[in-house]
Amino acid sequence: MRLSELVEQGLDSGAAVVLASHASSTNCRIANNTVTTSGSEESSSAACAAISGDRVAVRAADVQAASEVTRLAEQAASGVASSPPAPDAMPLLGPLEAASQRGGAPLVEDEGISAVITDLEGALEASRREGLELYAYVQSSSQIELLGTRTGVRLHAGRTTGSLSMTLKTKDHLGSVWTGGMARSLKDLDAARMYSRLVARLGWTRRRVELPPGQYEVILEPSAVADMLIRLGWEMHARGADEGRTVFATGGGSRVGEQMYSPEVTLESDPGDPEMPSADFVRTARSSEYSSIFDNGLAAPRASWIERGVQQDLICPRRWAADHHHPVKADAENLVMRGSDTSLEQMISTSKRCLLVTSLWYIRDVDPSSLLLTGLTRDGLFLIENGEVVGAVNNFRFNESPVRVLARTSEIGRAELALSREMGDAVYVKAPSLRVDGFFMSSASEAI
């Protein structure tokens, strides 16, 4: 069953917009030096939207045959008359208004996990030999998506990701360190190197240092920075700012054009980045603050979100842009924070006294109006004194806003593809290490 056949079947059956996708993934989990699970999954799905004037109805489901798409299209068509008027209604884009197709058909075949299995077997043997405990999760996934509209738009996109996270513990579990990585392909991840790094860091846990809550200078590693950037990106929509609900709202307007961050900070998105390519057009089966079902096919080109500390235009679908006099700006599917040539090791060597934060965990909202978040440090919080890591510190709960973190950033390191521990490989992020002044550790945590 070809995805193109599903799209055309849905359009022939009365749908105005059809999205068809095929996704597959394989994974392997290791716990306590033992492979515990492995598996794979594969599915095809379709969403059909019927549109009549300013009314829209959508039906979506996993599908196995073109006849099922016919049923979805017919169900959507039968429900459109009873749907309420859509506040984001706009004419559908035609081929000349929509994005241009980039490249040929996407090559996103699932390569499985064989690219890292040998290295993981070596790490398991070493962990057992050294009396340690290794935990890991490796996943390879791919997705192909096709978009078709009754106005003649036909676009396709593909995405492949590989991710690996590893936790190494001492037998008494008093020492625990984590690392993670993601890439377009698993073959680009070096499990042996990641394990060696964990062993070195586990050595740092031999000395324990108890510190009180308070404000600390910290170095956030790329994974922790990715957590912050993703959460910041979620709030960068014009509607929330216009309605006064987000950190980007100000009296009677938005903070676009304001110097909200350190001049060191530039944040972009680039669907053409060869390390993390993504779709360069809108495809959605539902309307939200980020996109409109009427905007399917809208170009999502390279974009600047923060330029030298200044907030740029926010995500804005066509109808909201027309009604509120904003430029149209499509949502981003990757984030790139510009880095420098400074390595993490160099940042550590020039530190007088600060904390090295390797990962964050269980991040939750506290105050949406200021984007204040809370969460925990976990599996590797270290004290740096006079350019050297001198021991592991008790973990903390933190209360911080990504906006404030980026406003107090005093040094930026080398950028790399980073695996968000909170979000996994759902979003491609290229992030550097950051030196941040006055990071607020609000209370001690018993987490390891």
pTM for this structure?
A: 0.95
Q: List the structure tokens of 404.
A: 């404030």
**Angle at the Cα of 35 (from 29 to 40), degrees rounded to 5?**
50
Task: Delineate the domains of the chain, giving CATH numbers in brackets.
Answer: 3-202 (3.30.2290.10), 207-448 (no CATH)
Within 8 A by CB and 6+ apart from 331, the residues are 282, 290, 291, 300, 315
The answer to whether the beta carbons of residues 392 and 170 sit under 8 Å apart is: no
| Ordered per-residue pLDDT tens for the chain, 448 residues | 689 999 999 999 999 999 999 999 999 999 999 999 999 999 999 999 999 999 999 999 999 888 999 999 999 999 999 999 999 999 999 999 999 987 655 555 545 577 788 889 999 999 999 999 999 999 999 999 999 999 999 999 999 999 999 999 999 999 999 999 999 999 899 999 999 999 999 999 999 999 999 999 999 999 999 999 999 999 999 999 999 999 999 987 899 999 999 999 999 999 999 999 999 999 999 999 999 999 999 999 999 999 999 999 999 999 999 999 999 999 999 999 999 999 999 999 999 999 999 999 999 999 999 999 999 999 999 999 999 999 999 999 999 999 999 999 999 999 999 999 999 998 999 999 999 999 999 999 987 7
**Angle at the Cα of 444 (from 443 to 447), degrees rounded to 5?**
130
The answer to whether the beta carbons of residues 293 and 287 sit under 8 Å apart is: yes
Q: Maximum CA pair distance of the chain?
A: 70
Within 8 A by CB and 6+ apart from 206, the residues are 175, 391
**What is the structure's pLDDT at 114?**
76
Q: List the structure tokens of 114.
A: 């064989």
Q: Which of 444, 434, 424, 420 is nearest to 359 (CA)?
A: 420
Beta bridge partners of residue 388, listed in sequence order: 385
